[in-house]
Amino acid sequence: MAFGREPAIIVSMSDKGVKPPYKRGRPASPKSLSAAKRDALWLASIANKQDARALSDLFTIYGPKLKGWLMARGVGNGTAEDIVQDVMIKVWTKAASFDPAKASFATWVYRMTRNRWIDHQRKHGRMDVRDPELMKIIADDEVPSAEANFMAQQNSDILQEQIARLTPTQQKAIRMAYMEFKTHKEIAAETGLPLGTVKTRIRSAIQALKANMAKHVSHMK
Amino acid sequence: MTQKTSHNVVMDEDIITDYAAGKLSPAKHIMVACQSEISDAVAQRIAFQEGLAASMLEQGTSEPLSPLFMGNALAALPQQTHNHPPAAPAPSGGLAPQSLRHMLGHGLKDMQWKSMVPGVAVHDVLGNRHTKDGDRLYLLKAKGGMKMPQHSHNGEEWTLILTGSYTTGDTRYARGDLHIEDETETHAPHIDEGEDCICLVMTQGPLKMQGWLPKMVQRVVGI
């Protein structure tokens, strides 16, 4: 089966397009901005003052979430904590290279955790790694950030709001795509939906979200 | 089925989603990471979805860290390397994406190629081309003008073009293009004249060669 290659079957779904982003609910909360700012300040403090307290504050917040993300993927308790600790060390040593203009700390630390997890699978999966040097790292953290302008504005809370504005079906699709460690095929088997429908749903939910975000950002300018 | 895969346009959104969510196999993950280094368009799409995946952490279940975690982790912190500006940028002009360079420890120029047949050489990156299952990742170098044997696959074959180009059917694949084929497709890529074509290739299961000579060669060299 081609990886996402079959013709996109347009299937009837309860999604009736994208909801207008600003009809109801709160305006973008300033709280969100402060979470990102707070993280950036902690990062700066780690980079400039070797502030271990700031690191511990960051991981008091993010540690349990990252551990939860890993364990939802079937990683055992001990291994999950090992991975989180590796990431924590990385944040400590690489704090100076964190650029809040490129991505939020949440995104940065998520990416590191995900890459560590992939790395872990590479080492412990069936794959025969030839050279221990290879184990060093996968893409690691510095995925080149050619983010468009609006990416800099992106932060978790604005996204959360935009997600909350999607239809329930779209929200469910996004949750399936990111929260559950299942392939599209497994999701299809579980929900009884054709594979094409699963893909279309996830894709259209992401598109809707992108459109909302773009509107939101142009709104802010 | 061929499909135009100009890297600025085509890469399936599903793959980007799975990449962002950490659902791709390690070999595929590396390939997409490499492609995103070459293609800004792909990098942007990934960045968006990574932001999204990260923000979904908020909705996920938290697992409390064990009581001793923080103390142990803080005690184990290494010396900070002082305020270095972001790590030295990749040697510019290098053709190997940073993600690949990390794995190899060097760039494409210093490769130790293993010649398979005249004009074709390989270098294993991950896994073993001789094993029967699992994803395998290797670099393949073919001389300009060569015609590769007709083959299909037992599983998927992903090819990321790093240098040179090749044509199969009426589609031309060049640097940054990620060419994905599955077991239903048979193709015989024709390397375009000129530059050597170096690709990062991921295959699942042995290729199925058509014709007795390629089959023989395959037995010997084990693609």
State residue B10's pLDDT score: 55
Q: Is the pLDDT of residue A7 over 80?
A: no
Sheet holding B190-191, edge to edge: B171-174, B165-168, B190-191
| B69 vs A: CB within 8 A | yes
Instruction: Indicate yes or no: CB of A4 within 8 angstroms of CB of B66.
Output: no
What's the CA gap between B11 and B15, in Å, rounded? 7
What's the CA gap between B206 and B222, in Å, rounded? 8
Cα–Cα nearest to B135, from A139, A185, A75, A129: A129
State residue A37's pLDDT score: 87
* Candidate from A56, A143, A155 with C-beta closest to B43: A143
Packed helices A105-124 and A52-72: angle between N→C axes, nearest 10 degrees = 50
State residue A180's pLDDT score: 65
Packed helices A77-94 and A52-72: angle between N→C axes, nearest 10 degrees = 140
* DSSP string for residues in A122-161: HHHSS-----GGGGG-SS-S-------HHHHH--HHHHHH
Mean pLDDT within A147-163: 55
Contacts of B135 in chain A (CB under 8 A): 127
Q: 3-state class of A183 per DSSP?
A: coil
pTM of the complete model = 0.71
Q: What is the DSSP letter of B148?
A: P
State residue B214's pLDDT score: 56
Q: What is the DSSP letter of B182?
A: -
What's the CA gap between B133 and B154, in Å, rounded? 10
State residue A170's pLDDT score: 82
State residue B207's pLDDT score: 57
ipTM: 0.81
What's the CA gap between B148 and B144, in Å, rounded? 11
Residues making up chain A, counted from first to last: 221
> Per mean pLDDT, which range of A133-142, A155-164, B176-185 is the poorest?
A133-142
DSSP strand pairing (B120-126 vs B190-191): unpaired
Instruction: Indicate yes or no: CB of B13 within 8 angstroms of CB of A4.
Output: yes
What the block records as the tokens of A128 is 């025969």
CB < 8 Å & 24+ apart, contacts of A44-52? A44/A95, A46/A91, A46/A92, A46/A95, A47/A95, A47/A96, A47/A98, A47/B83, A48/B83, A50/B80, A52/A92, A52/B74, A52/B77
State residue B107's pLDDT score: 84
State residue A204's pLDDT score: 83
A residues 14..33 contacting B (CB < 8 A): none
Q: How confident is the model at residue A52 (pLDDT cuts 50, 70, 90)?
A: very high
State residue B4's pLDDT score: 46
> Vertex B176, ends B173 and B180: CA angle to 5°?
60
Please report, in tens digits, the pLDDT of each residue of chain B (223 residues total).
334 445 544 578 889 999 999 998 888 999 999 999 998 889 999 999 999 999 888 888 899 999 999 999 999 998 776 545 444 455 555 788 988 887 788 888 888 898 877 888 989 888 665 554 568 889 999 999 988 877 777 778 899 999 999 998 888 999 999 998 887 777 788 999 999 999 999 887 665 555 555 555 555 555 5
Give chain A's mean pLDDT.
71
Q: Is the pLDDT of residue A9 over 60?
A: no
B residues 119..148 contacting A (CB < 8 A): 124-128, 131, 133-135
B residues 146..175 contacting A (CB < 8 A): 156
State residue B186's pLDDT score: 78
What's the CA gap between B131 and B222, in Å, rounded? 9
* Candidate from A77, A134, A163 with C-beta closest to B126: A134
Q: How confident is the model at residue A155 (pLDDT cuts 50, 70, 90)?
A: low
- B115 strand-pairing partners: B121
Q: Is the pLDDT of residue A130 over 50?
A: no
Q: 3-state class of B49 per DSSP?
A: helix
Which is more confidently placed, A191 or A58? Answer: A58
C-beta separation of A110 from B53 below 8 A? yes
> Per mean pLDDT, which range of A35-49, A149-163, B171-185 is the poorest?
A149-163
Residues making up chain B, counted from first to last: 223
Q: Is the pLDDT of residue A184 over 90?
A: no
Ramachandran category for residue B164: left, alpha or beta (phi over 0 → left; psi -120 to 50 → alpha)? left
Contacts of A72 in chain B (CB under 8 A): 60-61
Helix (H) or strand (E) holding B23: none
Contacts of A52 in chain B (CB under 8 A): 74, 77
Count the alpha carbons within 13 Å of A115 in the hemisphere toward its beta carbon. 23
* DSSP string for residues in B185-213: --B--EEPSSS-EEEEEEEES-EEE-SHH
| A120 vs B: CB within 8 A | no
Q: Is the pLDDT of residue A122 over 50?
A: yes
State residue A36's pLDDT score: 84
What's the CA gap between A103 and A152, in Å, rounded? 6
Q: Is the pLDDT of residue A146 over 50?
A: no
CB < 8 Å & 24+ apart, contacts of A31-37? A31/A157, A32/A155, A32/A156, A32/A157, A32/A158, A32/A160, A32/A161, A33/A155, A33/A157, A35/A155, A35/A156, A35/A157, A36/A100, A36/A104, A36/A105, A36/A106, A36/A155, A36/A156
Residue A198 CB contacts under 8 Å (≥ 6 apart), including other chains: A176, A184, A187, A188, A191
Q: 3-state class of A116 per DSSP?
A: helix
pLDDT digits 0-9 by tens, A62-93: 999 999 999 988 889 999 999 999 999 999 99
C-beta separation of B139 from B199 below 8 A? yes
